[in-house]
Structure 1
Amino acid sequence: MTEDSLASLRDSRDSLTLVREFGPQEQQRRAQIAAVARAMATRDGYRGVTIRAVAAAAGTTPVTVYRYFGSKDGLIQHLMADWALDTLDRLKNAPTDPSLDPADRVAAAFAVVIDWAAEDRNLLQAGMSSVHSPEGRGIGVWRPLFTELVRAALADPDWTDTQDRALVLGHVLTSCLLDLTTGPAGLPGIRHTITRAAQLLFTQP
């Protein structure tokens, strides 16, 4: 169900298996630290985020940052999950053209996601570096997001990925994000790639 997938995506913000729940004050402090880190990632990308610098800017200690996030990659994974959830909310609230067929709906939605990613390239660059780092959790953690993006595009919360179309399109999306943040491809070419992939995957035979 949709809520189960969203819960998995929310859980992906945490790289630690917590032995207890954070209280309200701890959750607020954790969110403040994450906001500081996001500003740094938005400005300077992956290399611009260090535990020591985040701690200093947030007025806390490196030990506290490690306690809340486990590692630098755990912190950036948290930021990327927040970005993903924000992106999903934006997509759900974006106007859609009911005259489009399913393939064109998905293609248009994923092209918009690329546009939004282009607005925050440095944060995305940090996220992509984190996913593929030795301590990263791998792209599999994003499978719930891929499914939810397609559901939002189709305005169908009960759609299921029985043929792995969302999974395949999600891997294409990941490659497009890598191109956007590190490769030579321009935005028009990246948008063409993701829309073409969506049309090929979702056009009914």
Structure 2
Amino acid sequence: MPDEPPPLSRAERRRRTEARILEAARELFARSGYDRTTIRAVAAAAGTDPGLVMRYFGSKEELFARVAELAPDQPVTGPAEDVAEVLLASLGDKLRGDLSGTLAMLRSMLTHPDAGREVRAAITEQQRQVAAAIPADDAVLRAGLIGAITLGAIIGRDLLHLEGVRDAKAEDIVEVLRPAIHAIAQSAPAHAPAELTADLAP
């Protein structure tokens, strides 16, 4: 008869319970956002008591802070062509990785002030690095548009589940976006047709 495993220590039992709570919270915040996720729902999903969730994490805000995060970006340096490839590689990594923390942050950013600030701070820092590498007078605008495109790809596929995007592979999304990101980053002299420009003029 095999030996029974030794009983878990109190510290190990707590660690496992915390891990279950964090996993349940990450999934619920990503699916429902900050406002619609409750401590009671998190406790039920984790198979524990709401009071224990509060004892371990203090409040819903503190629990949210533990699980909601934007995946960190690597520093962006070098010429515009290299910067474009770094951004595309970073987008591909995000789309292939575990986005639950990022999705929790993105789903909550319009209703939860802290989430909105975190998203803006993370994006702004990278945009400044990108703008410094773009050889154009409107570099800040171009960097902002690149940020909007890459963020929109994540939101469109994994939050809005847009048709054509929701089932797309990360590498396919990156390949379709590659010409556009390079054109914006390298300040490519692409202009709208003259008749369209005339129609848009005030």
- TM-score normalized with structure 1 length: 0.51
- Residue 81 of structure 2 aligns to a residue whose secondary structure is helix
Q: Is the 8 A contact 1:33 1:65 kept in 2?
A: yes
Task: Find the counterpart in structure 2 of residue 112 from structure 1.
Answer: 89
Pick 1 or 2: higher relative contact order, CA cutoff 8 A, min separation 6.
Answer: 1
The structural deviation recorded for 1:105 is 1.9
| 8 Å contact from structure 2 (residues 91, 174) kept in 1 | yes
Aligned to 1:183: 162
Question: Structure 1 CA distance, aligned partners of 2:29 and 2:124?
Answer: 30
Matches of 2:116 and 2:59, distance apart in 1? 22
Q: Which amino acid aligns with 1:41?
A: R
Partner residue of 1:46? Answer: 31
**Structure 2 residue 185 is matched with structure 1 residue 202:** yes
Quick one: which of 22, 34, 52 aligns to 1:37? 22
Write out per-residue CA displacement over residues 162-185 of structure 1, whole angstroms, 9 at most, x where no aligned residue.
623332222212211112312231
Query: Could you tell me which residue of structure 1 aligns to residue 11 of structure 2?
Result: none
2:108 aligns to what?
130
Secondary structure of 2:140's counterpart equals coil
Q: CA deviation at 1:131?
A: 2.3
Change (3 A) 1:34 1:110: farther
- Asked if 2 retains the 8 angstrom alpha-carbon contact of 1:131 and 1:139, the reply is yes
Consecutive unaligned residues of structure 2, counting only runs of 5 or more, are: 1-13, 189-202
Alpha-carbon distance in 2 for matches of 1:67, 1:38: 17
Shift of 1:129: 1.9
Q: Is the 8 A contact 1:107 1:198 kept in 2?
A: yes
Query: Is residue 88–residue 174 contact of structure 2 (8 Å, CA) maintained in 1?
Result: yes
Match of 2:141 in 1: 164
Amino acid aligned to 2:150: L
Task: Say if 1:35 and 1:204 are closer, same or farther in 2 by CA, change over 3 A.
Answer: farther
Amino acid corresponding to residue 174 of structure 1 in structure 2: L
Q: Which residue of 1 aligns with 2:61?
A: 70
Asked if the contact 1:80–1:127 (Cα under 8 Å) also holds between the matched residues in 2, the reply is: yes
Larger C-alpha radius of gyration, 1 or 2?
Answer: 2
Alignment partners' CA distance in 1, 2:42 and 2:56: 8
Give the % identical residues: 20
Gap runs ≥5 in structure 1: 1-28
Number of aligned residue pairs: give it: 156
- Asked whether 1:142 is paired with 2:119, we answer yes
Q: C-alpha offsets along residues 23-62 of structure 1, whole Å, 9 cap, x if unaligned?
A: xxxxxx9xx9688435653699424965224456487625
Counterpart residue number, 1:11: none
Aligned partners of 1:144 and 1:154: how far apart in 2?
15
